[in-house]
Amino acid sequence: MTTLFISDLHLDPSRPAITDLFLAFLQRDALQADALYILGDLFEAWIGDDTPSAAADAVADALHAVADAGVPVYFIRGNRDFLVGDDYARRAGFRILPDPSVIDLYGRPVLLQHGDLLCTDDVAYQQFRTQTRDPAFQAQFLAQPLAARIAFAQKARDASQARQSEMKQGDRAQFETVTDVAPADVEAAFIRYGVDTMIHGHTHRPAIHTLHAGGRECTRIVLGDWYEQGSVLRVTPQGWTLESLA
C-alpha cells in the first residue's frame, strides 16, 4: 500500500531526459500505487489545452494508462500550468483538485497544495497570481490566437527570470526569504484546516519539517523539483519517505 506524490516536474522539450524519466516512473512505480497525486507545475508552461505538444500527448497517454489500470490520478494546478483545463484532464485521465485540498490519507487528514499561496512575502508574484487566476482574464487570454499566447507566456517567463536574477545578485538572504513560504501562513493553514500534516511543492526545497501550530506538533513535507532528477514522496500506512530518482 503506497500513495505517491510528485510536483514541479516542469516538463519541457529542452529536457527530454526528464520526460523520459517521468514516463518510466509512470510505467514502473505508478502502476503499483494506491493513488498518484501531482501537485502542480507538471509542465514548464501551459498556454491552453489546445497547445500542440508531442510530449504533452505522450504524458497524457501514459497518465491515462495509469488511471485505466485502476490507480486514481489527481492533479492540482501550479503557477506554471494553472491553465490546464478539463479537456487535458480527460485526455490524461486525472481529476483536478482545488488548491488547497484536504484528503484522507490512510485515515489521516492531509492538506495538499501547490505551495505558492504560502509565499506571501513575494508581493509582486501574489499580485500576478491574483490577476491570472481571474476567470475573466483566463477567458480573454485563451480566446487569443496561439501565437499571441506563446508570445505572452515567453514575455512573462523572461520577466520572471530577470527578476529572480536581479534578486539573487542583491540580498541573498532576502531572496531566500521571499521565495520560500511565510512561517505565519504555514501555521495559519494548519490551524484553518485542522490538520497536522501538509504536503506541497513550488519552493524546490525538498525537506520534511516538524513544527508546532495551534498547540499541536505538525509535519510539513516539501516536494522537490525534477529539473535534474526526480523527487517522489512515498506514503504508506506506516509513514513516509522522500526520495530522489536518478
Helix (H) or strand (E) holding 130: helix 123-132
Annotated binding site: 8, 10, 41, 79-80, 114, 122, 160, 168, 202, 204
Residue 172, pLDDT score: 59
pLDDT interval class at 177 (50, 70, 90): low
Q: Is residue 156's pLDDT more than 90?
A: no
Q: Cell 493513488 appears where?
A: 35
Cα 158 to Cα 245: distance, rounded to the nearest angstrom: 29
Architecture of domain 3-119+180-245: 4-Layer Sandwich (3.60)
Annotated binding site for Mn(2+): 8, 10, 41, 79, 114, 202, 204
Q: Is residue 170's pLDDT more than 70?
A: no
DSSP 74: E
Report the C-alpha dihedral over residues 227, 104, 116, 121, rounded to 10 degrees.
-130
All three cell numbers of 122, joined, read 513575494
Nearest residue to 200 (alpha-carbon basis) of 210, 208, 212: 208
Residue 100: cis peptide before it, omega within 30 degrees of 0: yes
Please list, residue by residue across 221-236, b when 16 or more beta carbons sit within 10 angstroms of its beta carbon and e when fewer do.
bbbbbbeeebbbbebe
pLDDT interval class at 168 (50, 70, 90): low
Q: What is the mean pLDDT of residues 107-126?
A: 95
Q: Where are the domains of the chain?
A: 3-119+180-245
Annotated binding site for substrate: 79-80, 122, 160, 168, 202
Each residue's pLDDT tens digit, 178-215: 779 999 999 999 999 999 999 999 999 999 999 999 99
Each residue's pLDDT tens digit, 84-107: 999 999 999 999 999 999 999 999
